[in-house]
Structure 1
Amino acid sequence: MASKAYVTVNVLLISVAIILGNVLRFRFLPFNNDTKKSLGYPKDSLLNFTELAGKYGYKSEEHTVITDDDYVLTIFRILRGRNCYGRIKEPPVILMHGLLQSSDAWLDAGPNAGLAYLLADACYDIWVGNQRGNYYARRHLHYDPDKHAQFWDFSVDEIGLYDIPATIDYVLNHTRLQKLNYIGYSQGSGTFFIMCSERPGYCEKVNLLIGLAPAARQTYTKSVIYRIVSTGISTFETALTTTGLQEIFAKGALGQELLGFICQFGSLSEPVCGTAEGLFDSFHPGSITNETLRVMFGHFPAGTSVRNMARYGQSMMTDKFQKFDYGKAKNLEKYGSREPPKYNLNSVTVPMVIMYGKNDFLVDTKDIKWLVENLPNVLMVKQVADPLWNHFDNTYSQYIHDLIFPTVHHYLLKFSK
């Protein structure tokens, strides 16, 4: 058996190759699904949301949301869980993914652990969102993402300003209800905070916000790789975009295809892909199964803009939760001040439940503590019982059913009919 040091060195080399593959190359022609099937890729890694849900007996629908600035987002609805035998509860529940993810992240752990499956089985009306820039939200009414740089001129600032409100409005209009419940993982929570600060009245459309490792500022992020990549992109953003690179970590890019190819080999999924995930976040042996790793890296990373990654790099170099920093001159022109404005967390008036892991190297416990102190209506803050619980565990761990679902279910019941 290879030593841990040997595996770690190889993982670091592969990680460098993957990062370079995403930075130095624009897009890569991927293997088609027939070729991947012949190579032994797990079938689940090749399926889209509706196909994956349908395989396990969960009927779903595809819906199209158009934002005020004309981005076209595909979102999904699970109509009924295969183990739901009662009436569907009201109001609907939106699940919103994190950075570099898509709606598929809520299914990748399988029917026994994926939170979308578990909540559908508990008879909730589940709506699963996508944020601009991933492979389900790579469309615009006027811009072609492969031709127009304007498409990629966004970060979490625009996602919170446009995508989250548009998704909430669509779900409420479709269901003819006045309010809904919202579960945000990482970026999915941070963009909700931005919405509340920038779009008065939208917090009132939500009964309950459940934040899983909610990401606002990231001052104390421990992940060395994440910090180096994000701050590096922030430093060299202009140089990267000048060369024509606007999209990064896309599905189908060389880096993602390389990850998918390596991780489809069962013997490599844990020592290589599990170690890669651990190096990026932190180590939690056995929490994410080999099968989930193989499926996960068929859908992850899902793509975003260089600007968005630069925005995360900026958030690691300040102790504030603030808008994108364009530099003093452009800030003055855009914001009317030399410094980027801070988001108003006091505007997040919706009742909130926060769950986090002690071993999370992406959203540090110090940043969670700061966030809790600045939010006005926190019902409960819960550290997940497992001391090794990390960031990726919130969507991919085999233990979600035992460690996340009971608390989520308890609070959703309190705010549901």
Structure 2
Amino acid sequence: MASRGAVTTSVMLCVCLVCVGHVLRLPARLLNDDTKRALGYPPDSLLNFTERSTRYGYPAEEHRLFTQDGYILTMFRMAGAKEGGVARAPPVILMHGLLQSADAWLDAGPSAGLAYLIADAGYDLWLGNVRGNYYSRDHVHMRPDTDPQYWNFSVDEIGLYDVPATIDYVLNYTKADKVIFLGFSQGAGAYFIMCSERPEYCNKAKLLITLAPAARQTNTKSVPYRTLTQSMNKLESVLATSGIQEVFTKGALSQEFLAFFCPLSWISQLICAKGEALFDSFHPGSISNETLRVLFGHFPAGTSVHNLARYGQSMQSERFEKFDYGKSKNLELYGSLRPPEYNLSAVTVPVTVLYGESDHLVDTEDIAWLLRRLPNVVEAVKVSDPLWNHLDVTYSSLTKQTIFPKISDYLLQYSDN
């Protein structure tokens, strides 16, 4: 049997190769969409959010909003039930996780994608996109391709600026008093950060539903994820010197590689399914081959090196804290040698937590740590399927039977009609 050191070295080499592929940008795609259609690629892998939702009878609107620090975000609205009629209030915001976009909520298809299920239940659904993904890669003054400062953000800034801007836009547009906020992984962690830093926003939601919420990630079991993020933390300054601040973007070599091969049916099961299981845990029968063929047309969606470095730090600390720049810069920025902890007691909104026992990215020990610190947990639900993992939340074909009934119960309980 190979030694633990040899296995770790192999994983690090593989991750480095993947990183190089994602860093390199292609001037053009390997194949154009017409060629991919002729080869039998699934149409959903080639369509954007509004094209896909409309294709299945869910007309969607595209909205652009501005954050306080000048980032331009794109948000989508799927208003009301598919059959028409008056949408239930308050509006519902659905926020994706790390390296995802709003497309993630459609990838499992109309029978399992959480966006479709919530829209079918009659809610006014808004789907966010955080800074740096391919739908929100814009700024009032800075250009992502030429201004390195654009990429100086992490989940800290997403929570401080993106989530409040998203909530404000929905409230102003709909004239509602409050929203219901569903956050997956990073999307939930960003809401916690907002409550700590801008508590006046915390109670603009009637309810916060968190799906595998990522706060502290000390006990993450995923070796590739841990290796990737901690490597980014160590190499951030080196990469910045080389002009690399953006990674895992749509159009990068490795994303194009995945988008090229994974829609081919036999490769998606043979290679892509095993790659997905390597980063999380193996859950046979959960993510369908059709979903695997679709999702790599939209994933990964891009982020900053700084954001991945921030997650690497979260695995080395027992606290949920701001970015650690080192003692001297911490003292300059924060007035303390250590980065300040986020105040989880400020999350006063009613919170529901759903998590999986086999989640290798957000471990159950870190969920238990989080639950002891949130002051207003209405219910914490461990999914009954013992193999339920992190990526199942967005991509599983079993969503309608596993997590949606509980989500639906709480949406109905906290809705006005």
Q: Which TM-score applies when normalising by structure 1?
A: 0.95
- Say if 1:11 and 1:272, in contact at 8 Å, map to a contact too: no
**Equivalent in the alignment of 2:3:** none
- Equivalence map 1:72-83=2 (5 Å): 72-82=72-82
Deviation of 1:36 after TM superposition, in Å, equals 2.6
Does structure 1 residue 317 correspond to structure 2 residue 316? yes
Assess, with a 3 A threshold, how the Cα gap between structure 1 residues 11 and 226 changes in structure 2: closer, same or farther.
Answer: closer
Secondary structure in structure 2 of the residue aligned to 1:382: strand
Amino acid at match of 2:254: G
- CA-to-partner distance for each residue in 1:376-401, whole Å, 9 max, x for gaps? 00000000011000000001000000
Does structure 1 residue 372 correspond to structure 2 residue 371? yes
**Equivalent in the alignment of 2:268:** 269
- Say if 1:18 and 1:259, in contact at 8 Å, map to a contact too: no
- Equivalence map 1:331-370=2 (5 Å): 331-370=330-369
- Equivalence map 1:9-408=2 (5 Å): 17-23=17-23, 25-27=24-26, 29-31=28-30, 32-82=32-82, 84=83, 86-408=85-407
Secondary structure in structure 2 of the residue aligned to 1:37: helix
Distance 2:85 2:212 in 1: 31
Distance 1:275 1:15 in 2: 15
Amino acid at match of 1:275: K
Distance 1:341 1:352 in 2: 23
- Say if 2:196 and 2:344, in contact at 8 Å, map to a contact too: yes
Amino acid at match of 2:50: T
Amino acid at match of 2:156: D
Assess, with a 3 A threshold, how the Cα gap between structure 1 residues 139 and 269 changes in structure 2: closer, same or farther.
Answer: same
Assess, with a 3 A threshold, how the Cα gap between structure 1 residues 26 and 81 changes in structure 2: closer, same or farther.
Answer: same
Deviation of 1:33 after TM superposition, in Å, equals 2.1
- Say if 2:81 and 2:87, in contact at 8 Å, map to a contact too: no
Deviation of 1:29 after TM superposition, in Å, equals 2.7
- CA-to-partner distance for each residue in 1:230-275, whole Å, 9 max, x for gaps? 0011011100111000100001100101111120110111121010
Of 73-82 and 176-185, deviating more is 73-82
Secondary structure in structure 1 of the residue aligned to 2:259: helix
- Say if 2:12 and 2:227, in contact at 8 Å, map to a contact too: no
Task: Extract unaligned runs of 5+ from structure 1.
Answer: 1-9
Amino acid at match of 2:57: G
Secondary structure in structure 2 of the residue aligned to 1:261: helix
Secondary structure in structure 2 of the residue aligned to 1:202: helix
- Say if 1:100 and 1:304, in contact at 8 Å, map to a contact too: yes
- CA-to-partner distance for each residue in 1:317-362, whole Å, 9 max, x for gaps? 1111000111111111111111101000000000000000000000
Amino acid at match of 2:66: I
Assess, with a 3 A threshold, how the Cα gap between structure 1 residues 85 and 64 changes in structure 2: closer, same or farther.
Answer: closer
RMSD: 1.5
**Equivalent in the alignment of 1:6:** none
Amino acid at match of 2:243: G
Distance 2:171 2:26 in 1: 37
Amino acid at match of 2:312: G
Deviation of 1:80 after TM superposition, in Å, equals 3.0
- CA-to-partner distance for each residue in 1:124-144, whole Å, 9 max, x for gaps? 110000000000000001011
- Say if 1:26 and 1:245, in contact at 8 Å, map to a contact too: no
Deviation of 1:35 after TM superposition, in Å, equals 3.2
- Say if 1:17 and 1:255, in contact at 8 Å, map to a contact too: no
Amino acid at match of 1:189: A
Secondary structure in structure 2 of the residue aligned to 1:184: strand
Distance 1:305 1:85 in 2: 39
- CA-to-partner distance for each residue in 1:166-223, whole Å, 9 max, x for gaps? 0000000000011010000000000000000001210110000000000001000000
Q: Which TM-score applies when normalising by structure 2?
A: 0.95
Assess, with a 3 A threshold, how the Cα gap between structure 1 residues 93 and 146 changes in structure 2: closer, same or farther.
Answer: same
Amino acid at match of 2:141: H
- Say if 2:15 and 2:224, in contact at 8 Å, map to a contact too: no
Identity between Structure 1 and Structure 2 (%): 60
Secondary structure in structure 2 of the residue aligned to 1:236: helix
- Say if 2:209 and 2:353, in contact at 8 Å, map to a contact too: yes
- Say if 1:73 and 1:130, in contact at 8 Å, map to a contact too: yes
- Say if 1:11 and 1:276, in contact at 8 Å, map to a contact too: no
- Say if 2:183 and 2:209, in contact at 8 Å, map to a contact too: yes
Distance 1:335 1:46 in 2: 45
- Say if 2:95 and 2:128, in contact at 8 Å, map to a contact too: yes
Secondary structure in structure 2 of the residue aligned to 1:255: helix
Assess, with a 3 A threshold, how the Cα gap between structure 1 residues 218 and 14 changes in structure 2: closer, same or farther.
Answer: closer
Aligned length: 406
Amino acid at match of 2:299: F
Distance 1:256 1:81 in 2: 34
- Say if 2:15 and 2:227, in contact at 8 Å, map to a contact too: no
Distance 1:292 1:415 in 2: 31
Secondary structure in structure 2 of the residue aligned to 1:374: coil
Deviation of 1:12 after TM superposition, in Å, equals 9.8
Distance 2:14 2:146 in 1: 30
- Say if 1:190 and 1:216, in contact at 8 Å, map to a contact too: yes
Distance 2:150 2:37 in 1: 33
Deviation of 1:311 after TM superposition, in Å, equals 0.2
Deviation of 1:79 after TM superposition, in Å, equals 1.7
Assess, with a 3 A threshold, how the Cα gap between structure 1 residues 199 and 57 changes in structure 2: closer, same or farther.
Answer: same
